[in-house]
Amino acid sequence: MPHMQVCSNCWAENLIDAPICEHCGRPLSEIEPVSYDQKLIQALHHSIPEMREMAAILLGQRRNRDALPVLLSSLLEETDIGMLCAIIQALAQLEDCRAVTSLAKRLAQPHALVVALTIVNALAALAQTGCWEALDVLKAPPPVSERVAKEIAVRLETLNRLYY
């Protein structure tokens, strides 16, 4: 029985002995291979939330800064709580201060407590790496719930012990 073969750009299974992609019709010999990290970045747009979440986790663990723009746009658009937490944690692992503005915007939006607390943890982690913008957000946060404000106070106390 012949197997369907599709290119890695079509984000489907690659099988053997097919000269063209059955999905997009492009000759497989003309298609550039896609790196693992690029596939992970593409997976951030997958229709299954768990696939998006796993891709974000892996990109953070791999500290792939090429994913930063996609993670930042996903942070502001995503509604799934698990995915939001995975994105936020990945941004903290990337240790890039460019994430602070988007994290601060998301902290100001009404959302689940777990998301807000994950943002506070990410900002504290960024501050520990010397990202002073993150420390400034923690010192003067947008309006947040009392529980989030208490967590910010705890994080600031820990940071003060580290630096002073």
Residue spans per domain, the chain: 1-34, 35-163
Average pLDDT (29-39) is 81
According to CATH, the topology of domain 35-163 is: Leucine-rich Repeat Variant (1.25.10)
Residue 7 scores a pLDDT above 70: no
d(CA 122, CA 91) in angstroms, rounded, equals 7
Residue 105 in this model has a pLDDT that exceeds 90:
yes
pLDDT tier at 33, thresholds 50, 70, 90? confident
pLDDT tens readout for residues 42-92: 999 999 999 999 999 999 999 999 999 999 999 999 999 999 999 999 999
7 touches 39 (CB < 8 A): no
Q: What is the pLDDT of residue 29?
A: 67
User: CB-based contacts of 42: which residues, under 8 Å, 6+ apart?
Assistant: 11, 34
pLDDT digits (tens, 9 = 90+) for 112-159: 999 999 999 999 999 999 999 999 999 999 999 999 999 999 999 998
Closest to 93 in 3D by CA, of 128, 44, 117: 128
- Given a cut of 60, whether residue 14 has pLDDT beyond it is no
The structure tokens listed for 95 are 């240790």
More confident: 3 or 22: 22
